[in-house]
A and B are shown apart, each in its own frame.
Chain A
Amino acid sequence: MLKGHQSWIFNSKPTILGSAAVGGPFEGNGALADDFDIIHEDLWVGQDSFEKAEKVILEHACARAIEKSGIKKEDINFFISGDLMNQIISSSFTARTLGIPFLGIFGACSSSMEGLAMAAQLIESKSADYVIASASSHNAAAEKQYRYPTEYGGQKPPTAQWTVTGAGAVVVGTEGIGPKIISATIGRIVDMGISDPFNMGAAMAPAAVDTIEAHFRDLNIDASYYDLIATGDLGKVGHELAINLLKSHGIEIPSDKFTDCGLLIYKKDQPVFSGGSGCGCSATVTYGHFLNRMRRGELKRILIVATGALMSPISYQQKESIPCIAHAVSIEM
């Protein structure tokens, strides 16, 4: 049901029946390694290209989520997925393997929550019995496509971020035991003129703030409603900027409640500059770590605000700035 201008309330409370997070070697050495269902020690995952490796990681995440949900693959109506590859090939090729009717999406690093919001809406509107939503990214494949060859000696500035090699997937159904999806706010494009692709945190922070503001406004609540509000991948720089912007917009979020997936996923001693990023960042941290904490009773109500930077190498070379977006989904146990 539409609430306010750009939010949905899911009165039927679609349930997350199964979830899975799969990661690469760097994530396996990270702070949340225990919350991954599978950690691949090999960045190639036994494949002969990074792109094929990302597809396999996504397939593993989907298979595991389906397995844990107890639902048969044939009974799942729709597969919604997005990733960073050109033409979202990781998702399309995974859809080929799954054989489930496929809705491909592109929200850059906001794909996880964009997919989850749409999955919940399909369930809520009785347009599906079961939906599987996922998102993935691969560090080397992303570097190759968006920036430089992985063995290139170019120096990155401290504002750069590290693309997560990982995939997260959830199976959503009408009822059952598990975390419930309560509401979602669809973001709009926010472009504050930042054009430095090595400082995406700064580009995305305003979009996150815009969506959080819209969410509170549409639902007529404030930060006290949630135990935790987490952005997708603002990183150190973006997180601090978001705190600043929220304050100047009159929104108070206590610092122990406000966090960022890109800050949580890696350890302090890992060389990740400003923090993690990529579709896999919010997907693995949410579908692994946060949902585990909810199932253990540590968190009751969370709001995940996945943020995406929607530029391409060509738009950047044509001196365009970076338009960003953030989608928010609230989950309760």
Chain B
Amino acid sequence: MEKFIFAFIIGGLICVIGQLIMDILKITPAHTTCTLVVIGAILGGLGLYDPLVKIAGAGAFVPISSFGNTLVSGALIDAQETGFIGIFTGIFKVASSGISAAIIFGFIGALIFKPKG
């Protein structure tokens, strides 16, 4: 139960950060989400994002910032074993589910749907 409350609050707060970036800096959603991804990658590198996931669960792994963290984790896992080249082989390993799903369902969507305007 506790996990759900933390998920709601932390997830909501990350979205508020995004909203503030969008409204105060007056930048597009695309710029905002890119910023959050980079922040996620940096926090991941500093070892701060995984603890956040442990506490907040989906509140931390559903926002796009987790994508940055996931890419860093993947890179570091392979780099641990094979050195620098491991960054290249490992980056997408864990993040695969998100990108594959988006492409596949996006394409299926295009097969089935028409834009409503």
Contact = CB atoms under 8 A, between A and B. Distances in A.
Nearest to A139: B117
B26 A150 contact: no
A305 interface: no
B115 interface: yes
Interface residue range, chain B: under 10
Contacts of A155: 22, 29
A49 to B, nearest CB: 10
B82 interface: no
A196 B26 contact: yes
A149 B66 CA distance: 25
Nearest to A143: B117
B29 A140 contact: no
B29 to A, nearest CB: 5
Contact of A150 (B28, B29, B116): B116
Contacts of A273: none
Interface of chain A, main secondary structure: loop
A150 B28 CA distance: 16
Interface in B20-43: 22, 26, 28-29
A59 to B, nearest CB: 20
B99 to A, nearest CB: 19
A158 to B, nearest CB: 11
Given A154-B28, A154-B29, A155-B29, A140 B115 contact: yes
A43 B116 CA distance: 8
A50 B116 CA distance: 10
B22 A150 contact: no
Interface in A1-47: 43-44
A151 B26 contact: no
Contacts of A196: 26
Contacts of B22: 155
Contacts of B117: 43, 50, 139-140, 150
A330 B90 CA distance: 68
Contacts of A154: 28-29
A196 B114 CA distance: 30
Contacts of B116: 43, 150-151
7 contacts: A50-B115, A139-B117, A150-B116, A151-B116, A154-B28, A155-B22, A196-B26
